[in-house]
Amino acid sequence: MNRVNNGFSHSVFYIISLLLPLISSGLCMDPFSYDQTLKSESECLMEPPQATVTTGGGGFRELKINDNGGIRNVVERTDLEEGNIYSISAWIKLRNENQGKVGMILRRDNGRKVYGGEVMAKKGCWSMLKGGINADFSGPIDIFFKSDDLAAAEISVQNVRLQRFNKTQWRLQQDQVIEKIRKNKVRFQVSFPNESSLKGSVISIEQNKPSFLLGCAMNYRILENDRYKEWFVSRFRLTSFTNEMKWYSTELVRGQENYSLADRMMTLAEENKILVKGHTVLWDDKTWQPSWVKKITDPKDLKNVTLNRINSVMKRYKGRLIGWDLMNENVHFSYFEDMLGTNASAIFFSLASKLDPDIPLFMNEFNTLEYANERIGSPVNVKKKMEEIVSYSGNKKIKGGIGAQGHFPPQQPNLAYMRSALDTLGSLGYPVWLTEFDMAKCPGQVKYMEDILREAYSHPAVKGIIIYGGPEVSGFNKLTLADKDFKNTGAGDLIDKLLKEWKQGPAEIPIQNHEHNDEEEGRIIRFSPEISLLHGHYTVTVTNPSMKNLSTSFSLEVTNEMGHHLQEVQLVINA
Ligand SMILES: *[C@@H]1O[C@H](CO)[C@@H](O)[C@H](O)[C@H]1NC(C)=O
Ligand SMILES: *[C@@H]1O[C@H](CO)[C@@H](O)[C@H](O)[C@H]1NC(C)=O
Ligand SMILES: *[C@@H]1O[C@H](CO)[C@@H](O)[C@H](O)[C@H]1NC(C)=O
Ligand SMILES: *[C@@H]1O[C@H](CO)[C@@H](O)[C@H](O)[C@H]1NC(C)=O
Ligand SMILES: *[C@@H]1O[C@H](CO)[C@@H](O)[C@H](O)[C@H]1NC(C)=O
Ligand SMILES: *[C@@H]1O[C@H](CO)[C@@H](O)[C@H](O)[C@H]1NC(C)=O
């Protein structure tokens, strides 16, 4: 690439280093602990791996399984200390049944039970159960492993391990992962023709578009209120519409489609360079069908109108969306399966992936991260449903996606559980999104929201987050980000803080005297230090005011899609 600017030209090369100086942080690569090795989650091993000592937390313990008293699967009691996060892992195998869900339960002396996590265990090999607890009390607990469907004697448990993290340690661990998964090291090598062209030269960078987007839902009120619109477009680059694309909105009367609101919101988003995730092609809950659909009793008729719906909405917005919620809540509900057959969701995925093969098609479910004791929309069940869809004939290569709505209750979240839930969802290899994240007001709301958002951001499977909130005028009553005068609430301040933190600020890159300084054919070569940059699209500008006002820009993609963590950028400044 050669460009001429103010009489100067430069060449830009991107060299992806083959020597991989992977960040040698204290990140533990031990499959038992929170190393986020997604693969280990889905593997079922012939032998449970032996213990190795981990880093990143304190209080590491290997717990003994207590067979005394004839009660199997009770692990010895252990003391928790308030304010700490305990991650707990165990290896589970079934003796006879082919597979079954096994959960971890932590029981206090007062009888209160906390659910810590769940795994789909199998016969003949060992599956890892991960999870844990945010201790909001000090005192002893007993750890149990049990199943709703299986007898205790059916379940073998081994290598139960517990690790304690204080809040600082947990945060440190998140930051180490963020460094690894959301950033690259970048180093500039600049070759100048002579000393005077070196002197005064400045490299500056500006991120135009972060790879990871924290978005926000919007609704039709944005079309009516300029201040809402202004508030929105000055912050967000990613959105989804709450109801306007839903079937009950676009075809209130059979055969009379009206996309007016969705179209106008789509235009608003596009005019402001805001990406849109479609929500939702179908909703598997009977309650939320258009009222005329609910009255249909003939499956053939329902099939006809449903296929019309999929075709209509997906063709209309093809090429304009970054993903579609194809099936909303098809783990909790089964309207289409009940009416059309057990493979209804799978058939819709098959059809939709042909209509729009380029974007991920999501299942979108609630309670998956929010409640450790969820029985229906649990990560294991969501994973199982997606696996069924993919195993349906012809669906092997569909682009799937997992949406976890994330309507969290107003209380301290169980981050250890949330992490294990994301591990389970992520083990499918599809992008995982928090699609409707909110929390009602409560004394700890802002802190809890921050904990959840950071947990999501530091998980490698999570590719996007959409907040379900807005300014008071938007009518998002649960999560208000700004009051009627558009003054931020505490939650609004938090979102602004994270938007800023998750976007790289503009910076000048120092050109250093470096041990690798070199001279080649009389040219002077200098290096910048290795700098850590958030993934995304950048503009790099080289200026030198003393040199006929040299100023030249080019774009740079910082990404580890090639699997490399160091990018070297060569700049050749020429006359
Ligand atoms: C957390 O643990 C670290 C490392 O052991 C320690 O230095 C720090 O003081 C602890 N922080 C709190 C808040 O307990
Ligand atoms: C379509 O919807 C818009 C917005 O709700 C409404 O103003 C318009 O009258 C509708 N068009 C028809 C033909 O019903
Ligand atoms: C399918 O439904 C559409 C409108 O909802 C209707 O126009 C069409 O006649 C139906 N086709 C059949 C075969 O029932
Ligand atoms: C659903 O799909 C599976 C896998 O393709 C198939 O074995 C099964 O027979 C189908 N069930 C029905 C009711 O069509
Ligand atoms: C550089 O640009 C500034 C402002 O545009 C101008 O005042 C100055 O004369 C220029 N210097 C040279 C060497 O061209
Ligand atoms: C340094 O190089 C620049 C660009 O090639 C040229 O314009 C300038 O005259 C050179 N200066 C000296 C002192 O050689």
Cβ contacts of 68 within 8 Å, gap of 6 or more: none
What is the distance, to the nearest Å, from the Cα of residue 306 to the centroid of all Cα atoms in its chain? 30
* pLDDT score recorded for residue 548: 77
Q: Which atom of ligand 5 is nearest to the CA of 547?
A: 13
Ligand with minimal distance to 168 CA:
1
Ligand 4: which of 337, 342, 349, 396 to mutate, judged by most atoms within 8 Å of the beta carbon?
342
Q: Is 392 in the pocket of ligand 4 (CB under 6 A)?
A: yes
Mean per-residue pLDDT for 423-449? Answer: 97
First vs last C-alpha separation in the chain: 15
- pLDDT classification of 20: cutoffs 50, 70, 90: very low
Mean per-residue pLDDT for 3-16? Answer: 34
Q: Note if 436 is an active site residue.
A: yes
Sort 384 into a burial class: Cβ within 10 Å, 0-12 / 13-18 / 19+.
middle
Q: How many CB atoms lie within 10 A of CB 410?
A: 15
36 or 62: whose pLDDT is higher?
62
* CA 131 – CA 385 distance, rounded (Å): 21
The tens digit of pLDDT for each residue in 451-469 reads 999 999 999 999 999 999 9
User: Does pLDDT of 39 surpass 90?
Assistant: no
Q: Which atom of ligand 5 is nearest to the CA of 549?
A: 1
Q: Is the Cβ–Cβ distance between 392 and 352 less than 8 Å? A: no
- pLDDT classification of 1: cutoffs 50, 70, 90: very low
- The residue from 329, 370, 374, 455 that is catalytic is 329
Q: Is 548 in the pocket of ligand 5 (CB under 6 A)?
A: yes
Distance of CA 393 from the midpoint of ligand 3 (Å): 27
- The residue from 244, 374, 436, 568 that is catalytic is 436
- pLDDT classification of 476: cutoffs 50, 70, 90: very high
For residue 406, give both structure tokens: 């994330």
- Alpha helices by DSSP H, listed for 361-475, are 379-391, 415-426, 445-457
User: Who lines ligand 1 at CB under 6 A?
Assistant: 58, 166, 168-169
Q: Which domains does the chain have, with CATH numbers?
A: 12-175 (2.60.120), 182-207+505-572 (2.60.40.3540), 212-501 (3.20.20.80)
- pLDDT classification of 193: cutoffs 50, 70, 90: confident
* pLDDT score recorded for residue 72: 56
Q: Note if 388 is an active site residue.
A: no
Q: Is 260 in the pocket of ligand 2 (CB under 6 A)?
A: yes
Q: Give nearest CA residue, ligand 4 atom 1.
A: 343
Distance of CA 343 from the midpoint of ligand 4 (Å): 6
- pLDDT classification of 13: cutoffs 50, 70, 90: very low
The CA-CA-CA angle for residues 476, 247, 464, to 5°, reads 55
Q: Give nearest CA residue, ligand 4 atom 8.
A: 343
Above pLDDT 90, what percent of the chain?
71
- pLDDT classification of 33: cutoffs 50, 70, 90: very low
Q: Give nearest CA residue, ligand 4 atom 14.
A: 343
Strand 85-94 relative to strand 126-134, pairing: antiparallel
The tens digit of pLDDT for each residue in 315-328 reads 999 999 999 999 99
* pLDDT score recorded for residue 546: 78
The tens digit of pLDDT for each residue in 519-535 reads 666 788 888 999 999 99
Distance of CA 335 from the midpoint of ligand 3 (Å): 20
Out of 47-56, 72-81, 129-138, 502-511, least confident range: 47-56
Distance of CA 551 from the midpoint of ligand 6 (Å): 15
- DSSP single-letter state for residue 313: H
pTM to 2 decimals? 0.90
Q: Is the Cβ–Cβ distance between 372 and 116 less than 8 Å? A: yes
User: Does pLDDT of 41 surpass 60?
Assistant: no
Mean per-residue pLDDT for 409-422? Answer: 97
Distance of CA 296 from the midpoint of ligand 3 (Å): 12
Distance of CA 425 from the midpoint of ligand 5 (Å): 57
Q: Give nearest CA residue, ligand 3 atom 11.
A: 304
